[in-house]
């Protein structure tokens, strides 16, 4: 097979793309006296600060002045950028703020200020900082302008790293006619060019939760979010910045115990350990991270999911080391709710298929920018555990950027030590992935992206009917994978088509591939009219079609999807859809011990859902979905209710039921969860989640206490418990596993 990739000359004017917000310029003023962060802007030091005092609406009236006044002050010294905000709120809604916990989704629904800094001014990436009237903090890294996000459906993007935690400081205060916040961002938290004069991309957004109004300093049209850094304004005036030694060392210590019940016998284990994380700036654009004896005691547990398909489910990464700069390693499909492939999926490292932790001996990561080039290299070594061999994962990604366009290459090598023994001639088992990817943006509203990839696996023989190959069995063989997506996105239309071809032997073991041996295509048309009646802000009627065959062209599946989304002025959302589905089952499979025979199946799926405004102190969501299902019937029900009882206490309960009635049997599956968040202060919080899964007949409880006793230094207390009784679900659930771990980290800077 001969494959090629055509590199289309990029007609986008790089200067035009990068200077889209040039008319919006702000200058930071140097100060010799650092402001005291106390939520009071009347200090004399803020007087000469650079000032932004005009914001432009995106929602609801694009281009109109913001309905409330906002003043944004900009100061800096050699080590820190200071931002002060005075936000007036004179409407009947008042200040909407109940969330104090760090990195909570609810911060984005309430009154908040969002700041994005494109420090390299590459129109692609940035650091984003969000805070609210209570001083809550949310920070994230943005890659490739967050491409792949779907704001209106609540999906996150793999190009937005929500779990990155930078070191920065906030002090806020609620006033009778609004609120004030002071922000300090140390230069060592950011990376930027090594130059005397600094010119950064910057944008600032104010969200008014009570009005559901969003206003920007550098205006962005409705189809995009603040992550569209190619539309950011300019922050200038800073010079002679100092990142110090650019060295951060974080030793940590863990201690705790676990108890396991197996075959009626309880076994107890005690553990204590130490480890080290280190971050060093090799240059202004390159950062080296090292981890030794890595521990993820603070990582949150996965949300329970029920799989009513025969393909793998996607669980997001939640471990800190793998989240930072994760977007620089990404090569995959464009839409997070229709994942054809992710060539590098870090959950393959240090986790078994069931989610159990495998010890990580250590790892190293080098990421950053050299001119117009993005570089990302990582190696991680795991230990033997739970019947798995010690593994080494090595991944390298290189990208060359032109404005909003890029082309890159990816190499992944996974090695299992002596996994096959004599079969592999006493050499290490390996699986490798090679890829070329590109994203071409010839127009601000039009993007083409995709990849061509190949894999090879040791011990996999070459096809016997291919006389042109001389590859021996021990050298490895593999297949090819190809994906392309072309999308037009503006304020009125979202139109895209995509195609994926994954051969039978395409096997990216360090990635996520729900299904190989297929060719699949999809087209999607969506309109966004704004009728301005009945409190409706925007309608989202859409239709899309997916068609999937095997490698010979035999139809395996197709689906017509018709949907009408209704977003209201108050933030509530109504969704109606109908799916017309065909699925060919080539081999029988079972769901909860009920067999689905091989054959061709046609069925319809209907759904109605409603979610109230998430900015309200009390909110709820309901979903009903009657449908046909593999020759039988299925009825899905979902409900949730949440309450932010005070500015410190919030809770949310949810329940989902799948009621399945098939010719060969019937079953019900229930999922339930209860989350409780208690914020003692913006730097001290407790989060707990209790979940029930009737399919596995188990209760699980997970609680996390976090105290950031100084920026970058934390104390975590984590408790996890699993209770299960497979013999009698009506009896008291007995514990199967429980664990209590205390972890303390201490940041040392140079």
Give the pLDDT band of residue 483 (cuts 50, 70, 90): very high
What's the pLDDT at 645? 84
Is residue 540, in this structure, part of any structural domain at all?
no
Q: What is the largest CA-CA distance in the chain?
A: 82
Q: Lowest-confidence range among 219-223, 300-304, 678-682?
A: 300-304
Q: Residue 115: give the domain boundaries.
A: 14-239
More confident residue, 20 or 688: 688
- What is the tens place of the pLDDT at every residue in 604-629? 999 999 999 988 889 999 999 999 99
User: Closest Cα to residue 82, out of 186, 157, 210, 232?
Assistant: 186
The residue ranking higher by pLDDT, 614 or 467, is 614
Cβ pair 112, 130 in contact under 8 A: yes
CATH number for the domain harbouring residue 50: 2.60.40.1190
Let me know if residue 253 belongs to a domain.
no
In this prediction, residue 9 carries a pLDDT of 37
Q: What's the rounded mean pLDDT across residues 53-63?
A: 93
pLDDT computed for residue 186 by the predictor:
93
Q: What is the mean pLDDT of residues 706-728?
A: 83
Distance spanning both ends of the chain, measured CA to CA: 54
**Does residue 575 fall inside a structural domain?**
no
Mean pLDDT over 385-408 rounds to 88
For residue 424, the model assigns a pLDDT of 38
Provide the domain count of the chain.
Answer: 1
Task: Give pLDDT, residue 149.
Answer: 44
Report whether pLDDT(94) > 70. Answer: yes
Dist. CA 50–CA 30, nearest whole Å? 9
Q: How far is CA 394 from the centre of its chain?
A: 22
For 346, 447, 448, 559, the CA distances from 485, given in Å and listed in that order, are 23, 8, 6, 18
Averaged confidence pLDDT in the chain: 86
* Residue 467 pLDDT greater than 60, yes or no: no
Tokens of 95: 């200040």
Q: List CB contacts of 32: < 8 A, sequence separation 6 or more.
A: 77
Predicted confidence at residue 511, as pLDDT, reads 92
Q: How far is CA 382 from the centre of its chain?
A: 24
Residue 157 lies in a domain: yes
Mean pLDDT of 126-140: 93
CA-to-CA distance for 489 and 46, rounded, in angstroms?
41
Q: What does the pLDDT look like over 429-447, one tens digit per residue?
A: 899 999 999 999 999 899 9
Q: How many residues does the chain have?
A: 750
Nearest CA among 399, 445, 332, 448 for reference residue 10: 448
Is the pLDDT assigned to residue 286 strictly greater than 70?
yes
More confident residue, 219 or 7: 219
Output 216 or 7, whichever has higher pLDDT: 216
Residue 101 CB coordination number (10 Å)? 24
Quick one: pLDDT band at residue 82, thresholds 50, 70, 90? very high
pLDDT of residue 305 exceeding 90, the answer is no
Instruction: Report the pLDDT averaged over residues 663-672.
Output: 93
Residues 673, 691 contacting (CB under 8 angstroms): yes
Instruction: Give the tokens for residue 347.
Output: 């959950």
Buried b (16+ CB within 10 A) or exposed e, 475-486: ebbbbbbbbbbb
pLDDT in tens, 325-382: 788 899 998 877 778 899 999 888 888 776 677 888 999 999 988 888 999 999 999 9
On whether residue 272 sits in a domain, the answer given is no
Contact criterion met (CB below 8 Å) for 297 and 739? no
pLDDT band at 388 (very low <50, low <70, confident <90, very high): confident
CB 250 within 8 A of CB 747: yes
In a domain, 228, yes or no: yes
Number of other residues whose CB lies within 10 A of the CB of residue 320: 16
> Higher model confidence: residue 724 or residue 119?
119
Whether 318 maps to a domain, the answer reads no
pTM: 0.82
The CA distance from 518 to 512, in Å, is 15
| Residue 164 within a domain | yes
For residue range 530-559, list pLDDT tens digits in order: 998 889 999 999 999 999 999 999 999 999
pLDDT of residue 473: 44
> Tell me, what's the pLDDT at 477?
65
Residue 502: its pLDDT value, please?
A: 96
Higher confidence at residue 592 or residue 297? 592
- Residue 153: DSSP 8-state: G
What is the model's pLDDT at position 157? 56
Q: What is the mean pLDDT of residues 239-267?
A: 83
Q: Look at residue 427 in the predicted model and tell me its pLDDT.
A: 55
Residue 21 is predicted with a pLDDT of: 59
Q: Report whether pLDDT(494) > 60.
A: yes
List Cβ neighbours of 564 (8 Å cut-off, separation of 6 or more): 539, 540, 541, 542, 575, 576, 577
Please state which of the ranges 177-181, 214-218, 573-577, 723-727 shows the lowest mean pLDDT: 723-727
């Amino acid at each position: 097979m001969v494959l090629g990739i055509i590199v289309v000359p990029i007609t986008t004017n790089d200067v035009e793309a990068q200077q889209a917000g040039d008319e919006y310029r702000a200058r930071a003023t140097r100060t010799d006296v650092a402001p005291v962060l106390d939520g009071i802007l009347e200090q004399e030091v803020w007087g000469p600060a650079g000032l932004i005092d005009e914001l432009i609406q995106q929602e609801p009236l694009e281009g109109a002045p913001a309905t409330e006044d906002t003043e944004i002050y900009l100061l800096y010294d050699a080590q820190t950028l200071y931002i002060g905000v005075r936000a007036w709120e004179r409407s009947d809604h008042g200040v909407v703020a109940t969330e104090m916990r760090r990195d909570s989704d609810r911060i984005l629904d309430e009154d908040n200020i969002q700041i994005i800094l494109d420090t390299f001014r590459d129109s692609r990436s940035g650091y984003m900082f969000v805070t609210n009237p209570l001083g809550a903090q949310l920070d994230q890294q943005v890659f490739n302008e967050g491409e792949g996000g779907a704001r209106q459906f609540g999906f996150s993007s793999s190009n937005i790293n929500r779990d990155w935690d930078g070191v920065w400081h906030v002090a806020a205060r609620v006033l009778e006619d609004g609120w004030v916040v002071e922000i300090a961002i140390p230069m060592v938290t950011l990376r930027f060019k090594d130059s005397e004069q600094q010119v950064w991309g910057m944008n600032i957004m104010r969200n008014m939760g009570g009005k559901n109004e969003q206003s920007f300093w550098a205006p962005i049209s409705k189809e995009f979010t603040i992550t569209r850094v190619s539309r950011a304004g300019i922050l200038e005036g800073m010079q002679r910045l100092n990142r110090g030694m650019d060295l951060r060392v974080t030793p940590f210590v863990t201690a705790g115990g676990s108890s396991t019940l197996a075959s009626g016998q309880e076994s107890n284990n005690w553990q204590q350990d130490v480890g080290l994380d280190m971050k060093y700036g090799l240059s202004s654009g390159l950062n080296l991270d090292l981890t030794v004896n890595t521990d993820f005691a603070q990582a949150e547990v996965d949300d329970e999911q029920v799989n009513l398909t025969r393909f793998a489910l996607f669980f997001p990464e939640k471990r800190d080391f793998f989240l930072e700069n994760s977007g620089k390693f990404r090569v995959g499909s464009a839409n997070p709710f229709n994942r054809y492939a992710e060539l590098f999926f870090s959950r393959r490292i240090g986790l078994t298929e069931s989610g159990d932790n495998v010890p990580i001996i250590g790892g190293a990561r080098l990421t950053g920018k050299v001119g117009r080039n993005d570089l990302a290299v990582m190696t991680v070594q795991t230990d033997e555990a739970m019947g798995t061999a010690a593994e080494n994962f090595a991944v390298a990604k290189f990208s060359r950027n032109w404005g909003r366009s890029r082309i890159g290459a990816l190499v992944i090598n996974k090695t299992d030590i002596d996994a096959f023994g004599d079969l592999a001639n006493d050499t290490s088992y390996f699986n490798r992935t090679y890829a070329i990817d590109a994203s071409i943006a010839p127009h601000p509203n039009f993007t083409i992206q995709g990849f061509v990839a190949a894999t090879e696996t040791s011990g996999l023989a070459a096809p016997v009917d291919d006389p042109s190959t001389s590859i021996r069995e021990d050298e490895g063989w593999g297949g090819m994978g190809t994906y392309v997506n072309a999308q037009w996105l503006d304020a009125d239309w979202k139109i895209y088509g995509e195609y994926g071809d994954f051969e039978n032997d395409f096997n990216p073991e360090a990635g996520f591939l729900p299904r190989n041996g297929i060719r699949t295509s999809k087209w999607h048309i969506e309109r966004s009219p704004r009728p301005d009646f009945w409190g409706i802000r925007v309608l989202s009627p859409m239709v899309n079609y997916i068609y999937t065959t095997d490698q010979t062209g035999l139809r395996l599946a197709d689906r017509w999807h018709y949907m009408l989304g209704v977003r209201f002025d108050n933030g509530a959302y109504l969704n109606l859809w109908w799916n017309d589905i065909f699925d060919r089952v080539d081999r029988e499979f079972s769901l909860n011990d009920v067999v689905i025979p091989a054959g061709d199946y046609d069925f319809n799926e209907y759904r109605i859902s409603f979610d109230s405004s998430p900015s309200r102190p009390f909110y709820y969501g309901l979903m009903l979905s009657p449908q046909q299902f593999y020759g039988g019937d299925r009825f899905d029900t979902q409900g949730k209710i949440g309450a932010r009882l005070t500015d410190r206490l919030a809770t949310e309960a949810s329940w989902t039921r799948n009621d399945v009635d098939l010719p060969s049997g019937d079953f019900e599956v229930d999922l339930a969860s209860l989350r409780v968040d208690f914020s003692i202060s913006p730097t001290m919080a407790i989060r707990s989640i209790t979940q029930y899964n009737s399919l596995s007949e188990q209760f699980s409880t997970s609680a996390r206490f976090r105290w950031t006793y100084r920026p970058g230094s934390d104390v975590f207390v984590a408790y996890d418990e699993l209770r299960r009784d497979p013999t009698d679900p009506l009896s008291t659930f007995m514990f199967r596993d429980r664990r209590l771990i205390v972890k303390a980290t201490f940041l040392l800077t140079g």
